[in-house]
Structure 1
């Protein structure tokens, strides 16, 4: 499995940096975002280091599909019932800050809509 020793998500996957895990198997780690944008905000990360969606190959199809199927299950387990948002930022113009593919999954009431 590919690993980048300088990548913060690779360090989280390796257990070198703590995280509040939601799910883990051989392929994917899901954990709560440390700077949430919604009441429930988790990150789904493939354990194999893939820097960006630009670097995805057919070999990555299964793990990316697993992440898409896993997201609604985890949101339901976390009590999200009114829908959720899935976002993958890609590259500098796409707002990617950590260069390890990750999917933000955000749910719960959106406080900025109140008023």
Structure 2
């Protein structure tokens, strides 16, 4: 069920529990600003999630409240994960859902990295680019 990205941060969400090591994950990267791990229900051959360590509900929340250092660290982590996973060639897709209309299901900012096969148009019914 999509969540409202304007709600206060819920420290019992699944990603907060992963950050606290209360729930196991298959981590592929971690630093002071972010962690990355394989999605437990992948929708592409490669499906990695990258989340900031801070308590941010959505991209909007993160961009409004995070420090410049946190923002730079998170963005660099996303690029580092993509390069380390060998996704740059032939390409990959980044997706960050925000709020109920965007389909956000976990109230912690996260970026999906999809790769490993042609992904087709970004939205169903949209012409291929």
- Answer whether TM exceeds 0.5 for this pair: yes
Counterpart CA distance in 1 for 2:93 and 2:26 is 20
Structure 1 residue 26, shift from structure 2 partner: 1.6
- Higher relative contact order, structure no. (Cα contacts within 8 Å, ≥ 6 residues apart): 2
> In the superposition, relative to structure 1, how do residues 100 and 111 fare at CA in structure 2: closer, same or farther (>3 Å)?
closer
Matched residue, 1:30: 36
Counterpart CA distance in 1 for 2:50 and 2:109 is 9
Structure with more of its chain in helix, by fraction: 1
RMSD (Å) for aligned C-alpha atoms: 2.2
Structure 1 residue 58, shift from structure 2 partner: 4.9
Counterpart CA distance in 2 for 1:72 and 1:42 is 12
TM-score (norm 2): 0.74
Counterpart CA distance in 1 for 2:119 and 2:98 is 26
Residue 44 of structure 1 contacts residue 103 of structure 1 at CA under 8 Å; is this kept in 2? Answer: yes
Counterpart CA distance in 2 for 1:53 and 1:72 is 17
Which moved further from structure 2: 26-35 or 60-69?
60-69
Counterpart CA distance in 2 for 1:48 and 1:83 is 28
Counterpart CA distance in 2 for 1:58 and 1:5 is 17
Counterpart CA distance in 2 for 1:68 and 1:61 is 11
5+ residue gaps, structure 2, are: 1-8, 122-129
